[in-house]
């Protein structure tokens, strides 16, 4: 890398052997990037989606009034970010009927009808994240990033005569092209920072040194010698985050050989703890955004029909059977515990985005995340009154701190259409949309 006294371009990379290191937005880049995407005047718009399966406990989730002054038990982990959060009630996935786990997943980002087939002639619709990637993902290393927590088979029949791709792929780049997700932190890490060679060669290169960053020591020192104090601190924070994620991945891989009772849904070599695994996957999203490696992410936090247990929070029962609660108070309480646990992991992620400066704001200001499920009442397998949150986005004019109740049966597709518009993707319609959602954003110029 050659560094001059001129302002650094936003797309500055450090290139090492078998790896490339993207840099966060630095003050030294802003003069050269005034006309580009990621500046205080025109910050990058990022769009993320987090999917949870099998609905929720409505009573412990839904706020009573139009504000978030007092959070409900399930939403309580979001206290520190509630001013950048909106709870949305009464959205529906009409095209996901007849209600199934498969169509809950397939409809979440597509709002489309899934062709009922057990074979490879599956047909759905291009998902919102991939429509965004086609527009705002073309200037980044990765147009989009598809993540999950479980090993998800893509072949065969998973449930109710539906091909497995419907249940296990959130993202579709076309109606006939499902995109597989990645659950292994090491592989995601290599996608973000590795370069060149086969998968085996990249893995060997990474394992042959203590840290990916070691090959950049001279360039990093040279860079830090040319930028100001605040930029040096920002570079140090970013590099420390990368090193910490590397250490966590290495610890998980070292512990894998000692695990006598592996989780059959969990890839070998990932953290044994669900929370530790999820935090790693969220941390990788922070790095991907901070380095502007991608601007679009989808994350399946858990899968439909999951029989994962959560003894660490007092739920030793498998999730799927528990979700068929039949209004049993004990089962509903356990569902609420699972909902709260999942949301606490998302809340910690949002807090990290909020704590990461970028331009005239933070990563959270310049990102919009939709969190929720394609199923409402899991005991009925319905797709009405879905649990939906929208977080971040003050740079896109999002108001926050509010609970919006729309008319019963408002399409989730209306929200997708609205969010796409806010990140610069203008469409006449999406899925079964019949308009856009109101009150979520201020009418600011983008």
Q: What is the pLDDT of residue 201?
A: 56
Q: What is the pLDDT of residue 260?
A: 46
Domain residue spans in the chain?
1-36+186-269, 43-183+295-446
Q: Which of 4-13, 329-338, 345-354 has the lowest mean pLDDT?
A: 4-13
Q: What is the pLDDT of residue 151?
A: 72
- Predicted confidence band at 232 (pLDDT cuts at 50, 70, 90)? confident
Q: Which of 271-275, 352-356, 410-414, 441-445 has the lowest mean pLDDT?
A: 441-445
User: Region 147-160: what's the mean pLDDT?
Assistant: 74
Q: What is the pLDDT of residue 434?
A: 95
Tens digit of pLDDT for each residue in 249-293?
776 666 655 544 445 455 556 788 999 999 999 999 999 999 899
Percentage of the chain exceeding pLDDT 90: 59
Tens digit of pLDDT for each residue in 281-327?
999 999 999 989 999 999 999 989 899 999 999 999 999 999 999 99
Q: Mapped to the 3 state alphabet, what secondary structure does the chain carry?
A: CCCCCCCCCCCCEEEECCEEEECCCCHHHCHHHCCCCCCCCCCCCEEEEEECCCCCCHHHHCCCCCECCCCCCCCHHHHHHHHHEEEEEEEECHHHCCCCHHHHHHHHHHCCCCCCCCCCCCCCCCCHHHHHHHHHCCCCCCCCEEEECCCCCCCCEEECCEEHHHHHCCEEEECCEEECCECCHHHHHHHHHECCCCHHHHHHHHHCCCCHHHHHHHHHHHHHCCCCHHHHHHHHHHHHHHHHHHHHHHHHHHHHCCCCCCCCCCCCCCCCCHHHHHHHHHHHHHHHHHCCCCCEEEEECCCCCCCCCEHHHCECCCHHHHHCCCCCHHHHHHHHHHHHHHHHHHHHHHHHHHCCEECCEECCCCEEEEEECCCCCCCCCCCCCCCEEEEECHHHCECCCEEEEEEEEEEHHHHHHHHHHHCCCCCCCCCCCCCCCCCCECCCCC
- Predicted confidence band at 155 (pLDDT cuts at 50, 70, 90)? low
Q: Does the domain spanning 43-183+295-446 belong to CATH 3.40.720?
A: yes
pTM for the predicted model, two decimal places:
0.84
Tens digit of pLDDT for each residue in 106-115?
999 999 999 9
């Amino acid at each position: 890398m050659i560094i001059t006294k001129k302002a650094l371009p936003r797309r500055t990379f450090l290139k090492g052997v078998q790896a490339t290191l993207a840099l966060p937005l630095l003050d030294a880049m802003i003069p050269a990037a005034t006309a580009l995407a990621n500046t205080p005047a025109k910050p990058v718009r990022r769009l993320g989606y987090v999917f949870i399966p099998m609905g929720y406990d409505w009573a412990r989730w839904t706020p009573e009034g139009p504000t978030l002054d007092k959070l409900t038990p399930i939403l309580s982990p979001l206290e520190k970010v509630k001013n950048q959060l909106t709870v949305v009630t009464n959205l529906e996935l009409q095209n996901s009927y007849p209600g199934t786990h498969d169509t809950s997943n397939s409809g979440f980002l597509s709002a489309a009808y899934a062709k009922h087939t057990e074979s490879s002639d599956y047909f759905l619709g291009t998902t919102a994240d991939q429509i965004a990637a086609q527009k705002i993902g073309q200037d980044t290393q990765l147009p989009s990033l598809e993540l999950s927590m479980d090993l998800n088979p893509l072949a065969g029949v998973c449930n109710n005569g539906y091909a497995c791709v419907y249940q296990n792929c959130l993202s579709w780049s076309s109606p006939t092209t499902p995109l597989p997700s990645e659950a292994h932190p090491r592989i995601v890490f290599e996608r973000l920072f590795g370069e060149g060679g086969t998968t085996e060669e990249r893995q060997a290169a990474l394992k042959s040194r203590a840290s990916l960053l070691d090959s950049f020591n001279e360039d990093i020192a040279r860079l830090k010698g040319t930028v100001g104090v605040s930029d040096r601190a920002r570079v140090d924070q970013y590099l420390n985050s990368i090193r910490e994620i590397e250490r966590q991945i290495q610890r998980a891989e070292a512990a894998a050989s000692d695990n006598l009772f592996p989780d059959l849904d969990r890839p070998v070599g990932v953290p044994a703890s669900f929370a530790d695994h999820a935090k790693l996957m969220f941390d990788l999203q922070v790095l991907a955004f901070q380095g502007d490696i991608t601007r679009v992410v989808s994350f399946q936090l858990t899968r439909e029909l999951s029989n994962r247990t959560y003894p660490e929070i007092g739920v030793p029962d498998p999730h799927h059977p528990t979700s068929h609660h039949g209004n049993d108070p004990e089962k509903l309480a356990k569902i609420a515990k699972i909902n709260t646990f999942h949301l606490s992991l998302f809340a910690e992620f949002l807090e990290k985005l909020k704590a990461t400066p970028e331009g005239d704001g933070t990563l959270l200001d310049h990102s919009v995340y939709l969190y929720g499920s394609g199923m409402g009442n899991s005991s009925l397998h319905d797709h009405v009154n879905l649990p939906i949150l929208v977080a971040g986005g003050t740079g896109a004019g999002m108001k926050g701190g509010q609970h919006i109740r729309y008319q019963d049966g408002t399409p989730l597709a209306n929200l997708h259409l609205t969010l796409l518009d806010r990140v610069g993707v203008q469409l006449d319609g999406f899925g079964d949309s019949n308009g856009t959602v109101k009150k979520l954003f201020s009418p600011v110029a983008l």
